[in-house]
Structure 1
Amino acid sequence: MTDSNHDAVRRENLMRARANADRSVAPPVSYPFRGRWTRRHWAHASVLTTMGVLLAAIVPGFSSLLDHPIGHVGAQRMTLALNLPKLDKRAGRAGDDHWQTVTLKPGQTLSGVFEELGIPYDQLALVMQHPKIKPTLRKLRPGTELSFNLPADGSVRAMRLEPGPGIGDTPIELEFNGEALREHAVPVEVTTRTVVLTGEVGKSLFASARKLGLGSAQLNQLTDEMFKYDIDFDSDLSEHDRFSVVVDQTWKNGQLVNTGPVLAATFTVDGKLKSAFRYMRDGKPEYFTADGRSLRRPFIRMPIPYARLTSGFGGRQHPVLGRFRMHKGVDYAAGTGTPIQAAGDARVAFVGRQGGYGNVVILDHGGGKTTLYGHMSRFAKIRPGQRVAQGTVIGYVGSTGLATGPHLHYEFRVNGVHMNPLKMTLPPPAPLSGESLVAFKSQTRRALDKIREVEDVVFQLDDERVASAPAQPAPAHKKG
C-alpha cells in the first residue's frame, strides 16, 4: 500500500473516532419534579443522609484525638483505695513466704505430714532430734495445728506448732538454716475486754445467746443462778423481749479464746426491766439485785432443773406396795442418768444403799436441816464428810429400790421431821450493807449505763432498718 493510501486510511479512522467520541458524551438526562418523589429521589436522599451522619460521628473523634499528644491518649484516671492485707512480720523475703497449716488427724504422724507436704526427710530428722522439741512431739494429739513456711523453691523455711493439746499457750517456731535448726517463741498478744452483748430472745433464747458468743456456762448462769426465781424461761419470754450481758473476753492474736462468767445481765420482759449483778462477798461470787438483795436461795426447790413433778407430799396409794401410806417427800420424773444437784451448801452425811430408797445420798445443811435423794442409778464422785456447794452434782437419776420407773425421790427434814419441800420458806441470805453496798452500787451504775448505751445503739439501728424497709403487701386471702 502506498503512502498516500496510508494517509487516506488514517484520516478516515481519525474522523470516525472523533464522531464516536461526540456521540458517547451524551447530555444529562433531566427528570423534572412532578409534585411527588420517585424511587430514585428517595434512594439518593437516603445515601446522602447516611454519609452526613457518618461524617458527624467520625470528625469530632479525630478532632479530640488530635488535641492530645500520642502518648497521652485517655490520660484521665480513677484512683481506688484498696485495703491491702498487713504484711506478715514472720516473713523472710518479701513475697517469698507461703504458710500452710495442717491439723493432725487421728492416727496421723509427723513423718506422714512431712511426706504429704514433700518436705525432705533430713529436715524431719532435724526436728525429731532437737532436744527441746522432743518432749513436745511426744504430746502431739489429734487437733494439733502445724504450720509450715514453704517457699516456691520447694524447700522448708520454718515450722510452727500452734497452741493445742500438749503444746501449751505459746506457739513454738522452728527456723531451718541449712543443717541447723533455730527455735524461738512466737510473741502472743493477749488482751482482755469487758464487752456488752445484747439481742432479742427470738424463737429460742439459747440459740440467740449462742449467736452472740455465749457458751453453756454463761447460759446456765442466766437461767439457773441469776433469773431462776424471777423468770419462767418456758413461758414468760416472747420473741421481742430483750436481754443483755456483760462479760470479760480474752483475745489472743486477734482470736477469741475465752469468755468469762456473766458480770451483769438484764432482761426486758413486757417492758419491765429485770437485772442481776455479780459481786464478790466474803471471797465468793454471788449475784444480787440492783438494790443489793441476794438472788441466791438457801435451798433449790427442784434438784433437777426443768423436771416434772409426778407425786407430791402427803398420803397416797403406794404404786409398788399397793397400800395407802405417807409419802414423805416429792417425786420428779426424769430420764435415767439425769444429773441431780445438791439443794444447798452441805456436808455429805451418807452415800450408799438404804432399803426401798435404793441408792441414796443424804446431805447435812446445818441447823438440823437435811435432804435425802433416792433411787439413784449411780453416785457422783463424792464421799461422806465432803463439803459440797449448792448445785453440785451428787448423783444421777435411776430406779433402784422400790420404784416403778426412773425418778428422783426428794425429802426435806428439819430436826428429823419430814417437811414439804415445796412449801418451805427459809430466809434468804442477808443483803449487802455499809461499804460493800456503796461499792456494789457504784459498779452497778456503770454496768447499767453501758448496757443502756449499747442497747440504744443496737435497737435504734434495728428500728431504723425496719422503718426504711419497703412495705410488704398484705397476703391475698383465698376464698374457700
Structure 2
Amino acid sequence: MGIVISSICRHQPQTYQPQQTTLKLAPVKITPQTTNLNFWRDEVVQPGDTISMVLQRFHINDEEIRQITNLKIIKNQVQHLQVNQVFSIRMDNNGHLTDIQFFNDDDNGEKNLVALKKTGNNWNADIGAVDTETLPTFKAVVVKTSARGALAQAGIPVEIRESLREIFKDKIDINTLQSGDTIRLIYDSLYYRGQELATGDIRAAEFSHNGTLYQAYYFDTGNDGNGQYYDATGKPLRQGFTSVPVEGARISSPFGTRFHPILQTLRMHSGIDYAVASGTPIHAPSDGIVESYGIKGGYGNAVILRHNDSMQTLYGHMSAFANLSPGQHVQAGDIIGYVGSTGVSTGPHLHYEVRINGQPVNPASVALPTRKLNAHELATFKKMEQRWNSRLADIRNLSVTIAQMD
C-alpha cells in the first residue's frame, strides 16, 4: 500500500517548486466483528393464546412449531397458557431456535417450569438443579408523580410491588408518597440458564417520606421459607391476621420457587400447604366476606374470602364446605369448611393462598400472626439487619433511580 504526499519546496524568495514523495505503509487488516444474537426474547401471553400462536409471533417456521407442539411434555402437561405469563425463547448466532421455557399453570396453586432444549434436530425437556441460581436484586426508586408509577417504570415485578404495599400497610400507605420521596429495596430473583424466571421474598426495604425513614427487614426464624417482617429494632412491622386457618398444623410446603430433586422439576408454589388430617375444620383467619365457593379446577373444592378492597384468601382441596352462601359475612374463627384431598392432590392437606389485587403473595409474610423475637433471635436479626442496612445506606442520598444486581 502506498500513499502520495505533495509538498512545495521554496528555493528563492517568491519562487516555489512542487515535489512528490511516495511512502509505503503496512496493509491495514480489518477483522469483521460477529454480532452476538444469543439472547433471550420474551412474549407476554395474551387471552386465547396457544403455544403455536406465541411461537408465530417470534416468526418461528411452521415445521419447527409442529415439532414443538407434538412433544409429549407439551401434549400431556400443557393444557393452556396463563394470560400475562412470560413465554421465552433463545436463538443462537445463526438465528436458529435453541431453547424455550415458560411456567405451566396447573390450576392447583403450583406452576411447573417447562424447559425445552434443541440438540441437533431433536427437542428434549431440559432442567437441572445446577442451572438454577437465586441472587439479590437491588432497586432504588425516586418518586416523580406516584409511587406505583415509579416502581413500574423501574421494572419492579408486580408481585414485588403488591408485597411492598402490604408489608408497610400498617405504617404508611404507599399511595401517600410524593415527588422526591424515595424507595429502596432488595429482593430475591431466581435465574435459570441465565434468565430471570421468578422473584422471591423482599429481603429489605425502606421508604423515605417527609424526612421520616420507614424500614422493613425479612427474618425467617425457622429457616423454612416462612419468614416475616420487622422494623430496624426487631419489632413486628405488622400483626397480620389474628389466627391461622388450621391450628397446630405443620407447613409442609412453603411459598415460592423450589427445585424438586426427585421429579427434577422447578416449581413455583403460590401459597402454603398445611399437612393435616382429612376432616380437620378450616377457620376463617380474619373477618371477611364469602366471595365464592365450589369446585375450582385443580384446587378442587375451594373457598375464596375477601377481607378488604385488595386482599383475598383462598382455601383449596376441601372435603366439604360449611353452611356458606355468596356474600355471607364471616368472622375470624368461623368454620368455613373441612380439610380434604379434592382436585389435584396427592393426599389430605390445606392449600392456603393470599392474593393482593389478584397477585399471590407469601401468606407467612403478610397474613399469618407475626411472632415476637426472643433474645437469641433478636441478636441474630440485628446482625442481618446491619448487613442489609449497610447495602441500602450506600445510595440513600442519591436523587436518581438506579438498579443493581449482585
Query: 1:138 maps to what in 2?
Result: 75
What is the 5 A alignment of 1:324-335? none
Residue 195 of structure 2 is aligned to residue 255 of structure 1: yes
1:352 and 2:352 matched: no
Q: Does structure 1 residue 285 correspond to structure 2 residue 227?
A: yes
Q: In the alignment, which of 116, 119, 122 is matched to residue 171 of structure 1?
A: 116
1:437 is matched with: 378
For residues 288 and 431 of structure 1, the distance between their equivalents in structure 2, rounded to whole angstroms, comes to: 9
Per-residue Cα deviation, 1:9-56 (whole angstroms, up to 9, x for no partner): xxxxxxxxxxxxxxxxxxxxxxxxxxxxxxxxxxxxxxxxxxxxxxx9
Cα 1:259–1:433 shift into 2, 3 Å? same
- Gap regions ≥5 residues in structure 1: 1-55, 90-98, 152-156, 301-330, 372-381, 397-427, 463-480
Of residues 111, 128, 140, the one that matches 1:198 is 140
Question: Which residue of 214, 217, 242 corresponds with 1:274?
Answer: 214
Of 330, 346, 359 in structure 2, the residue corresponding to residue 362 of structure 1 is: 330
Secondary structure at 1:68 match in 2: strand
| Partner Cα separation in structure 2 for residue 449 and residue 433 of structure 1 | 24
Counterpart for residue 233 of structure 1: 174
Structure 1 residues 449 and 109, CA gap change in structure 2 (3 angstroms): closer
Match of 1:212 in 2: 154
Shift, 1:109, TM fit: 8.5
Are residues 1:454 and 2:392 paired?
A: no
| Structure 1 residues 111 and 144: alpha-carbon distance in aligned structure 2, compared to 1, 3 A threshold | closer
For residues 268 and 246 of structure 1, the distance between their equivalents in structure 2, rounded to whole angstroms, comes to 15
Partner of 1:459: helix, strand, or coil?
Answer: coil
Conserved? CA contact 1:243–1:265, under 8 Å = yes
Closer/same/farther in 2, CA of residues 82 and 245 from structure 1, 3 Å limit = farther
Counterpart CA distance in 1 for 2:181 and 2:170 is 18
Cα deviation for residue 162 of structure 1 reads: 0.9
Question: Are the structure 2 counterparts of residues 219 and 351 from structure 1 closer, same or farther at C-alpha, using a change threshold of 3 Å?
Answer: farther
The alpha-carbon distance between structure 1 residues 160 and 438, as it changes in their structure 2 partners (threshold 3 A), is same
> What letter corresponds to residue 383 of structure 1 in structure 2?
G
Aligned partners of 2:217 and 2:229 also within 8 Å:
yes
2:238 maps to what in 1? 296
Corresponding letter in the other structure for 1:268: S
- Say which SS state the counterpart of residue 218 (structure 1) adopts: helix
Determine which structure has the larger strand proportion and give its number.
Answer: 2
Query: In 1, distance between residues paired with 2:233 and 2:339?
Result: 37
1:76 positional shift = 11
- What whole-Å deviation, never above 9, does each CA across 1:327-385 have from its counterpart, x for those lacking one? xxxx999x99x96128999x9995424xxxx74243444xxxx69xxxxxxxxxx5257
The one-letter amino acid of 2:330's match is: I
1:129-156 deviations in Å (ceiling 9; x for gaps):
xxxx7413525767866778897xxxxx
CA contact (8 A) 2:37 2:92 kept: no
Cα RMSD after superposing both structures? 5.7
**What's the offset of the Cα at 1:80?**
10
User: Matched residues in 1 for 2:172 and 2:163: separation?
Assistant: 13
User: Structure 2: which 5+ residue stretches go unaligned?
Assistant: 1-12, 105-111, 243-286, 293-303, 341-348, 359-368
1:279–1:440 Cα contact (<8 Å) kept: yes
CA distance in 2, matches of 1:246, 1:210: 16
Cα shift at 1:298: 5.5
CA distance in 2, matches of 1:435, 1:221: 28
The higher relative CO (CA closer than 8 Å, separation ≥ 6) is in 2
Q: Deviations over 1:146-182 (max 9, x none)?
A: 778897xxxxx97645113669443321414xxxx69
2:307 counterpart of 1:341: yes
Q: Give 1:239 shift.
A: 1.0
Task: Give the secondary structure class of the aligned counterpart of 2:396.
Answer: helix
The 8 Å contact of residues 114 and 125 in structure 2, kept in 1 or not, is answered as no
Look up the equivalent residue of 1:68 and give its one-letter code.
T
Distance 1:253 1:220, change over 3 A: same
Contact 1:351–1:360 (CA under 8 A) maintained in structure 2: no
Greater Cα offset, 138-147 or 192-201 = 138-147
Secondary structure (helix, strand or coil) at the match of 1:246 reads strand
- CA–CA distance in 1 between the matches of 2:288 and 2:44? 46
- Structure exhibiting the larger radius of gyration computed from Cα positions: 1
Measured against aligned partners, the alpha-carbon deviations of 1:386-422 in whole angstroms (never above 9, x if no partner) come to 99999947xx9xxxxxxxxxxxxxxxxxxxxxxxxxx
Fraction of identical pairs, as percent: 14
TM-score (norm 2): 0.52
How far residue 430 of structure 1 moved from its aligned partner, in angstroms, is: 5.4
Structure 1 residue 250, shift from structure 2 partner: 2.0
Matched residues, number: 285
Equivalence for 1:383? 337
Q: 1:252 to 1:351 in 2, by over 3 A?
A: same
Which residue of structure 1 lines up, in the alignment, with residue 205 of structure 2? 265
- Listed one character per residue, the Cα deviations across residues 288-331 of structure 1 (whole Å, up to 9, x for unaligned) are 1111111222558xxxxxxxxxxxxxxxxxxxxxxxxxxxxxx9
Residues 390, 247 of structure 1: alpha-carbon distance in 2 compared, 3 angstrom cutoff = same
- SS of residue paired to 1:240: coil
Is 1:162 aligned to 2:100, yes or no? yes
Q: Is the 8 A contact 1:196 1:450 kept in 2?
A: no
Q: Would you say the 8 A contact 1:341–1:392 is kept in 2?
A: no
Structure 2 CA distance for aligned equivalents of residues 223 and 211 of structure 1: 16
Q: Does 1:245 align with 2:185?
A: yes
Listed one character per residue, the Cα deviations across residues 48-99 of structure 1 (whole Å, up to 9, x for unaligned) are: xxxxxxxx9xx78x53xx2223x54xx798x99998545869xxxxxxxxx9
Contact (CA 8 Å) 1:264, 1:275: kept in 2 or not?
Answer: yes
Amino acid at match of 1:257: L
**1: distance between equivalents of 2:380 and 2:119?**
50
Scaled by the length of structure 1, the TM-score of the pair is 0.45
How far, CA to CA, are the matches of 2:100 and 2:202 in structure 1? 29
CA distance in 1, matches of 2:385, 2:215: 10
